[in-house]
Structure 1
Amino acid sequence: MKDQFFITSLIIPGPRSPGNEIDVYLQPLIDELLEFWVDGVPTYDASTKETFMLHAALLWTINDFPAYGNLSGWSTKGKLACPSCNADTDSNWLKYGRKHCYMGHRRFLPPDHIWRRKKWLFNSREDHRMPPREFGPEEIQIQLQMIGDVQFGKSHRKKKRTAEELNWTKCSIFFVLPYWSTLRLRHNLDVMHIEKNIADNILFTLMNSLGKSKDNINSRRDLELLGYRKELHLIWHGDRVTMPHAQYTLNVEQRNKFCEWLSDIKFPDGFTSNISNCVSRRDCKISGLKSHDCHVFLQRLLPIAAGGYLRSDIGLALTELGTFFKELCARTLDVNRLAQLQTDVVTILCKLEMIFPPSFFDVMRYVKNKARPEGSIAEAYIHTECLTFCSMYLKDIETRFSRPERNIDADEEETLMGSKFSTRKFVPWIQEHRTSYTLDVSADLYALACGPDRWVATYAACIIHGKRFHTKQREFRRRTQNSGVVVTGDEATNNLDFYGVINNIVELRYMEWRRVYLFECDWFDVGDRKRGVRVDDHMISVNMNRTWYKDEPFVLASQADQCFYIRDLRAKGNWGVVQNYANRNVYNIPPRPRVLEVLDWESSTPDADQEDEPSYYYEPVQCDNTDQVATELNRPDILPSHVDAREIMDPVGQCIDSTGFINDDMITSESGNAASEGEYSDEEDL
């Protein structure tokens, strides 16, 4: 859905957002939903020209995790932050990190899984617990009855929750709807927010960014307190303290090469923003990535970077994580594949537990602009909505409604986009038999048979099927890459896909202004599975120095699709990882074939058209009996970095001045209402 079709019924900008008091502002919406469900609304049906009573129901909400707590009434902070696990949430308070971490993913594995017994790979304990049970509507209603009187308003002081209230802060106003308690899925999480949080965690940890990395001094002190992964503990040499480098972080040379690689990547026109603007080669820093940039990084760039710089087991886990989100965000979804993804995500999370410290598995919060309402996203959204509404009535100037899309095929002339043909024998034959043939020959076929004009036109760019194509020479001074093409193979080529780059765009002109467009390409050698192409479970990489079919460089533009290449960090030489993608506004709907019966000449009824996005083969996550992370996680090739001893406690992890820290005794069973520097309380705005 696009912005101009959104309807924002109520947005309150300012230093104080509604937070938990959002129910007060949702009351008009609930009244309308009740009217839709109980009485219905008279609606006119244009097809039957009759009026009927329209009934509607609210299926679910879509929001980020902090807003989940505002709408559902279950606090997404503290000891019991998971709304699905409810009272069975597995959390651990990190003393020095001053926050809760949420691990224990082994309980979602099969009961006889070998990882449940391998305590040295996880937290030095075996885990034979069963998965959290699903709470039914009756149990949820019983829990909601335990909530006391909730007073809305910023002036009221928030009361401390009792143990019986668990993490409930209120009974959500949505439970006023008669059907709301019976829904199994009431709230959905926005995947773009999840991808940004995960991408930020991984990227800043890989880059070892000061103040943003999840692997810091406090996380090492927590590891020492928890008593496992001793190779990552702080090392004391008298008054000097050093911190070993971890295998999941990059050294200085690797960070420089990574920033150089990231700034040199070129994407197709309109695919994403210019990520190189977010990379500083001089300071070796990455900042300013938007949500869609993190979406591209997690799915496209992280698997390549992890495979090139990190250890094979760590790189495989991050590659599988990116593949999981790539499959989850596909345009078309298969129910069977979703079931496989549900199983795979548990294995991926267990692999990440073997690698990253506990501080990696926390709940991220968002920094809000509370200084000026004019600078908030809400205020900007109101301005955009007002301008969009006004632009609907401006007919004489270009607006977002009258402006053509960026890569639209505008002013298309009549073209001939058929199959491959040879005119040497076909042209004389069709000219000889056209007058004597009983059936009529179409004008397109006759124009094709007459052959093209001897003069052809060549171009350096064109737009076909909503995608912009450039020649390779045109891209030398550009920040976009639009010269990559892929031709899907068939049975004649053993389903082998052909990859190449465009050298020239040729226009063949036929009679009556008909056109045929050809791409003259350099085809990469995909026939050599060792020196020309490498195919694994997650990526396809081609050697861009080896070409193939030099005597057949042409392909019809209608037969080619666009792809782009990213330099492969895993291989030496000029290797590129193939990246296929589908246009967001163009759907590949197959034509409805006309099948004529031999006897009655009646057309058969074809199957319903289905949107079938070309997708790669999804390889399930491998989980065998071998140790996934069998070696230690420190880097012996890099000297440990020195740490200021004034920031460190004594070797046993006890604080010199314990008044500034929160210990486990301060965290009560009612979970997570202790206010501290690193912990959020329920009365804070989300």
Structure 2
Amino acid sequence: MMLTLLISGPKQPGNDIDVYLEPLIDDLKSLWVGIRGVYDAHNGEYFTLRAALMWTINDFPAYGNLSGCVVKGYGERRTRLPPGPWNLSRAEKREICNSFYGMKVPEGYSSNIKNLVSLQDSRLLGLKSHDCHTLMQQLLPVAIRSVLEKPARYAITRLCFFFNAICAKTVDVSKLDKLEEDVVVTLCLLEKYFPPSFFDIMIHLVVHLVREVRLCGPVYFRWMYPFERYMKVLKGYVQNRTRPEGCIAERYIAEEAVEFCTQHLSDVSTVGVPSSQKMGVSKPLSGCTNTEEVLPYIEQHMIHIKTAYPKFRKRTKWLQDKHNSTFIQWLRFKVQSELEEDNHGVSENLRWLAAGPNMAVPLYRSYLIKGIKFNIKAQDDVRTTQNSGVYLLAHTMQVASAKDKNPILSNMGFYGVIQEIWDLDYQKFTIPVFRCDWIDSSGLVVDELGFTLVDLSKIGHRNDQFVLASQVKQIFFIDDPMHRGWSVVLSMPNREYNDVIGDEVLGDVIIECEPFTRGMPNVDTFDELMGELGGQNIRGGCEDIWIE
């Protein structure tokens, strides 16, 4: 016979447990009063039952009452647990939650982070698996930049960098050994700052993730996001809950047939069906094709300038400025002269480019190109998403100062915010261009962890604000909690598919996040930081933990 007795923890009787159990003992003594014995149904006879207490199962506080063990301490100093390097103060918890609450990410990147934050409880609620991956790979290292001591913060950042690296779409096999060594060091660093109870089997499994990548390939081929989302689509097919399999099969066959038929009716206008927002944007001309056709004329124009102005042949900056101001007129005259000479080498696209676009330019608030949606800044200000950040990698001149007459040609990165979206009409095709506010070089900093910080208030390059929509890459900015007025630049993953008319039901196009940096924080840095802290892991200025 097993008797279960539950005693409330904080208000337990303690050493007075005998008084608490006295009524139970009296009831047990009177249990057999007036009974001759215990009846054995198998043999059909009575017998005398003799019982003995074999053992008891107790929790840890009960040992202090039953065995005299020390479980509560001997004073106030023993009941106060000093904060460890992983503990956050109330102010730091509010700061992290406020950082998450103010984040605006591009459309389709993740859930709305603002809806996952409870400012009242300083907690994150309702996270899905994809949201956890997004936070771990990119958003968490930004949110904790101003909290914790540097050693503990850098150790967490190293773990985030590791997940960011193994979830990449392209894996460099030669770097997997180094990555495996780094994650072992990262776990050892975490053991220095986190309690033993933190290291369960899930933390240990991180060591084997690199081996899985080496044997099975990139991670995104094996995670379950597309299948979980497609199960939701199939669940929506069910109209008769008593026959779910039949509903799914019939609906799937019907959609297959309709999709096949619509391929033959793609050029037919629909009746009574409103057009999609994505249908209102005409197909843009590829920026690569445009550059290939105009590139020979750019070289010819540079030679023409050097010949016309021999005194400025060695002044690279002056030649480039002259080229920018006179190339359009020269190209129009050059193409016209070639057409008069019956030169059949001039393509039709080049003819329209030389003639110039229509002076009536339509403006858009949003534009979809290569599966990525871009918005102007005014549109983002009234929405919960951020789609106005752009990044351009250009081969251009690097000028040391205003007096530098011989700048160096190299690749430079430019960060900007879209202010206007123009759609230039060349009669036969259109070319979308963005007018952006580009960040000046004085407002661009890369810190020791590889984060790119920009000051959005420092606007530069006002003479060259336009860029082809096909040449930019989408980024987004998050307010830096460490440096007020600065923002951390994060990249939007590329989507490897063409423009598709219709909504993305599965939403499985986010397959990688751009890495912050090529490497991880050096281990020697941790030793230097611990030396600055005096080798102590006890945090100062943080609330103590009291043990009841």
Match of 1:640 among 541, 544, 548: 544
What does residue 434 of structure 2 align with? 519
The alignment status of 1:532 with 2:444, answered yes or no, reads yes
Once the 2 structures are TM-superposed, how far is the Cα of residue 437 of structure 1 from its aligned partner?
Answer: 4.6
The residue type equivalent to 2:468 in the other structure is: L
What does residue 198 of structure 2 align with? 360
* C-alpha spacing 1:325/1:511, structure 2 compared with 1 (3 Å): same
What does residue 542 of structure 1 align with? 454
1:569 is paired with a residue whose SS is coil
Match of 2:372 among 467, 480, 496: 467
Once the 2 structures are TM-superposed, how far is the Cα of residue 629 of structure 1 from its aligned partner?
Answer: 3.9
What does residue 466 of structure 2 align with? 554
What are the ranges of 5 or more consecutive residues in structure 1 without an aligned counterpart?
Answer: 1-216, 219-233, 366-375, 588-610, 645-686
* C-alpha spacing 1:640/1:461, structure 2 compared with 1 (3 Å): same
Once the 2 structures are TM-superposed, how far is the Cα of residue 470 of structure 1 from its aligned partner?
Answer: 0.3
Q: Deviation per CA, 1:96-136, whole angstroms, max 9, x where unpaired?
A: xxxxxxxxxxxxxxxxxxxxxxxxxxxxxxxxxxxxxxxxx
TM-score by length of 2: 0.61
What does residue 438 of structure 1 align with? 343
Does the CA contact (< 8 Å) of 1:524 and 1:542 recur in 2?
A: yes
Q: Deviation per CA, 1:421-462, whole angstroms, max 9, x where unpaired?
A: 842221122112212053331110101011111111111100
Task: Describe how 1:299-318 pairs up with structure 2 within 5 A.
Answer: 299-318=137-156
Does the CA contact (< 8 Å) of 1:391 and 1:400 recur in 2?
A: no
Q: Which has the higher helix share?
A: 2
Q: Deviation per CA, 1:63-121, whole angstroms, max 9, x where unpaired?
A: xxxxxxxxxxxxxxxxxxxxxxxxxxxxxxxxxxxxxxxxxxxxxxxxxxxxxxxxxxx
Once the 2 structures are TM-superposed, how far is the Cα of residue 391 of structure 1 from its aligned partner?
Answer: 3.0
CA distance in 1, matches of 2:229, 2:351: 59
What does residue 624 of structure 1 align with? 524
What does residue 51 of structure 1 align with? none
Task: Describe how 1:254-333 pairs up with structure 2 within 5 A.
Answer: 254-333=92-171
Match of 1:394 among 244, 254, 263: 254
* C-alpha spacing 1:379/1:287, structure 2 compared with 1 (3 Å): same
What does residue 372 of structure 1 align with? none
Once the 2 structures are TM-superposed, how far is the Cα of residue 409 of structure 1 from its aligned partner?
Answer: 8.1
Once the 2 structures are TM-superposed, how far is the Cα of residue 266 of structure 1 from its aligned partner?
Answer: 0.7
CA distance in 1, matches of 2:106, 2:135: 15
Once the 2 structures are TM-superposed, how far is the Cα of residue 543 of structure 1 from its aligned partner?
Answer: 1.2
Once the 2 structures are TM-superposed, how far is the Cα of residue 262 of structure 1 from its aligned partner?
Answer: 0.6
The alignment status of 1:247 with 2:85, answered yes or no, reads yes
CA distance in 2, matches of 1:381, 1:508: 39
1:496 is paired with a residue whose SS is strand
CA distance in 2, matches of 1:500, 1:448: 26
1:502 is paired with a residue whose SS is strand
The residue type equivalent to 1:476 in the other structure is: D
Q: Deviation per CA, 1:519-542, whole angstroms, max 9, x where unpaired?
A: 0011112x23xx532343431111
Does the CA contact (< 8 Å) of 2:380 and 2:386 recur in 1?
A: yes
The alignment status of 1:413 with 2:283, answered yes or no, reads yes
Does the CA contact (< 8 Å) of 1:506 and 1:517 recur in 2?
A: yes
CA distance in 1, matches of 2:284, 2:231: 47
What are the ranges of 5 or more consecutive residues in structure 2 without an aligned counterpart?
Answer: 1-59, 62-71, 204-227, 238-244, 267-275, 295-323, 399-409, 499-510
CA distance in 2, matches of 1:401, 1:303: 49
Does the CA contact (< 8 Å) of 1:240 and 1:642 recur in 2?
A: no
Aligned length: 375
Once the 2 structures are TM-superposed, how far is the Cα of residue 641 of structure 1 from its aligned partner?
Answer: 3.6
2:419 is paired with a residue whose SS is strand
CA distance in 2, matches of 1:266, 1:401: 40
Does the CA contact (< 8 Å) of 1:407 and 1:468 recur in 2?
A: no
Task: Describe how 1:95-110 pairs up with structure 2 within 5 A.
Answer: none
Does the CA contact (< 8 Å) of 2:363 and 2:420 recur in 1?
A: yes
2:107 is paired with a residue whose SS is coil
TM-score by length of 1: 0.49
Q: Which structure: larger Rg?
A: 2
Once the 2 structures are TM-superposed, how far is the Cα of residue 495 of structure 1 from its aligned partner?
Answer: 2.4
What does residue 140 of structure 1 align with? none
CA distance in 2, matches of 1:638, 1:440: 75
The residue type equivalent to 1:519 in the other structure is: F
1:273 is paired with a residue whose SS is coil
Does the CA contact (< 8 Å) of 1:242 and 1:640 recur in 2?
A: yes
Does the CA contact (< 8 Å) of 1:262 and 1:276 recur in 2?
A: yes
What does residue 509 of structure 1 align with? 425
* C-alpha spacing 1:391/1:535, structure 2 compared with 1 (3 Å): farther
1:499 is paired with a residue whose SS is strand
